[in-house]
Amino acid sequence: DAGVIQSPRHEVTEMGQEVTLRCKPISGHNSLFWYRQTMMRGLELLIYFNNNVPIDDSGMPEDRFSAKMPNASFSTLKIQPSEPRDSAVYFCASSFPAGGETQYFGPGTRLLVL
Amino acid sequence: SQELEQSPQSLIVQEGKNLTINCTSSKTLYGLYWYKQKYGEGLIFLMMLQKGGEEKSHEKITAKLDEKKQQSSLHITASQPSHAGIYLCGALGGGSQGNLIFGKGTKLSVKP
């Protein structure tokens, strides 16, 4: 299995631009998680989906952030407009209940907003 | 809300030495996960513990969950440079769908 796939791996953009991060979970996994990692705050859960339905988005910083999961094999995290404080590494992870809720992480997208 | 505190924050050891990393929870743990992260990469799953007193080993890494299920330790025997990285503990955050809360991590450096 290819594991969780994220794209792009690196993104540099200017403040005010729209940023879209993409994730393909492991086939057969029915839960998908978006995390953000910074030096100051560590790893924080932004939102998670179960069977393509958003379950908890309380970690989403503000309305500039939105996430979708149109089908079981694809999810996006969008930031519009982006700000310098959004600079971080964004991880996507997936899991399935029969696996004991173990989450498998993608390699992350390193975002820099200038 | 539940919080996980890891200690130490960073650790430098000589190759071949043993070391222990701790993870303490403010609430009872119902699932404790250990991950390893190398710089610029994603998190790699190491082990999961659920039962009080449970202990699991993989190669030279052993993780334990105490009887009260509020503290876990990760022990590395005869450390090697390949063990270097950031070790994070994560716990089920209480949501029914398995969302995890993470500690801030312990940065391990192994000097050859």
pLDDT digit string, tens, across residues B48-102: 998 889 999 988 999 999 988 899 999 999 999 999 999 999 987 655 456 678 9
Q: How many alpha carbons fall within 13 Å on the CB side of residue A38?
A: 13
What phi-psi label fits residue A78: left (phi over 0), alpha (psi between -120 and 50 degrees) or beta? beta
All residues of chain A having their beta carbon less than 8 Å from the beta carbon of residue B38 are none
Give the mutation candidate from A26, A101, A111 for the B interface (greatest B CB count, under 10 A): A101
pLDDT for residue A75: 98
Torsion angles phi and psi, residue A53, rounded to 5: -105, 130
What kind and span of H or E run contains B48?
strand B43-49
All residues of chain B having their beta carbon less than 8 Å from the beta carbon of residue A7 are none
Output the CA–CA distances (angstroms, integers) from residue A60 to A57, A78, A96, B59, B96, in the order listed: 6, 11, 23, 38, 19
Find, in chain B, the residue whose alpha carbon is nearest to that of A51: B97
pLDDT digit string, tens, across residues B35-54: 999 877 889 999 999 888 99
All residues of chain A having their beta carbon less than 8 Å from the beta carbon of residue B42 are 4, 91, 105-108
Stretch B17-40: mean pLDDT, rounded? Answer: 90
* From A45, A100, A110, residue closest to B48, measured CB to CB: A100
What kind and span of H or E run contains B37?
strand B32-37
Residue A61 in tokens: 């910083």
Where is pLDDT greater, at A93 or B2?
A: A93
Give the mutation candidate from A40, A103, A111 for the B interface (greatest B CB count, under 10 A): A103
Residues of chain A with pLDDT under 50: none
Residue with tokens 């952030």: A65
